[in-house]
Amino acid sequence: MGTLYPNPILPSETRIGWVGIGVMGFAMASRLLSAGYSLTFYARNPSHPNALALQSRGATQAQSPAQLAQLSDVLFTMVGHPSDVRAILLDSILPALRPNSVTVDTTSSHPELARTISSKARELGTWAIDAPVSGGDIGARDGTLAIFAAGEENVVEWLHPIFSILGKETYVGPAGCGQSCKIANQITIGANLVGLSEGLVFAKHAGLDLKQFVEGIRNGAAGSKALEIFGERMIEGDFRPGGFAEYQVKDLGMGVDVVEGAKDDDVVVLPGASLWKQLFTSMVANGQGKLGTQGIISVIERINGMNQ
């Protein structure tokens, strides 16, 4: 059993490995199990409810990242921060992989780290794809994620049978480009979320029925994916996370923060994104970092003295 690159991917034979079983990772892994793939996962907390739920659906739990690497043909990671990616994927998983195994990092991480991982993978005779995703918990559950896939194009094409279960992949270039694409995505969605929040706050202040307001703008130029996914949640005060506010701060920071020693042509001035980052940072400062990004409306409400 097992199909290493470039042998065809088959649900009955290709062994999937998974690290990261939070809101997004759990939903994505569950879809692969439902599609008939054999899936083994590693969890830092073996008794986490999501770990038990995956096992009840037929998944196997590995005892370490290295063991998981040995049991996987394609190994996905969906963790929190670049430091987690470095510790789990670069330091623990890559050295233990079998030749022609493929790793797919769906974490929102740093482009330079993705390039480092790709280079190290090739040295070891394996392949590494950076493929962060967008679409939130609903997209992960329904298999409608946007997947920004980068690295060796032939390997990305080979992964299509798996990607198609999770959403729609777009090849965006060599290693690191997936992460750059995700940062640009987060800058864009940050603007959408802040704009939607301000529109709702103004509509409420003007005495409009908020659900009628959302329905009225849905099919006009203000209509957006952000509106579809988060509009009703914002109105209802449902801030359960699809993506954490603290992760939005991290992602925006990778776009706007100037690293010491950076060359002039490495710096991009993004005044809007810098503002979005500060607004999301205020959520973290108010103990809301683990809330969903749609909770940004609470910041705009606080600024305007509205009751929460």
- Catalytic residue list: 182
**Structure tokens belonging to residue 289:** 């970092």
DSSP state of 23: H
Cα distance from N-terminal residue to C-terminal residue, the chain:
55
d(CA 227, CA 231): 5
* CB neighbour class for 38 (10 Å; exposed up to 12, middle 13-18, buried from 19): buried
Amino acid at 171: Y
Q: Is 42 within 8 Å of 62 (Cβ atoms)?
A: yes
d(CA 115, CA 128): 9
Buried b (16+ CB within 10 A) or exposed e, 91-129: ebbbebbeeebbbbbbbbbbbebbbbbbebbeeeebbbb
The distance of Cα 300 from the centroid of its chain, to the nearest Å, equals 25
| Tally of CB atoms within 10 A around 273 | 22
In 3D space, the residue among 105, 71, 58, 65 whose CA is nearest the CA of residue 2 turns out to be 71
Task: Cite the DSSP H helix spans in the chain.
Answer: 23-34, 49-56, 65-70, 82-85, 111-123, 136-142, 153-158, 160-166, 177-205, 210-217, 225-236, 245-256, 271-285, 296-303
